[in-house]
Amino acid sequence: MGAGSETPSRPQKKTTEERRALFAQAVADEERHGWRVESQEDFQAVMVRRRRGIYLIQLLLTALMSPQAESIGGDKREILSVDEYGNTHLLR
């Protein structure tokens, strides 16, 4: 075979430790962007971020109206995961 004819290598599966490190880094990156962990498993987390404008409206309605105003919502959620090959996935 010639010098430029390398065959593409197959993706290698990551070890559990490598996946945990990649997952921890991905969670830290999301936290730096204003997200927080709502729930977490080994390689998957539900991240949540409160929308500021909606939060103020929700707070006022809750204070002035009733606890039913809490059902208005305002949180955004995403699911962050790392697969067995170390690829990070975000589902929004």
Q: Is the pTM of this model over 0.85?
A: no
SS3 content of the chain, % helix, strand, coil (to 5): 40, 25, 35
Domain hosting 26: range is 16-91
* Within a domain: 11: no
* Within a domain: 52: yes
Q: Please give the helix or strand (H or E) that residue 38 lies within, else none.
A: strand 36-40
What is the count of structural domains for the chain?
Answer: 1
The one-letter amino acid code at 84 reads E
pLDDT tens digits, one per residue of 21-71: 999 999 999 999 999 999 999 999 999 998 766 566 666 677 676 655 444
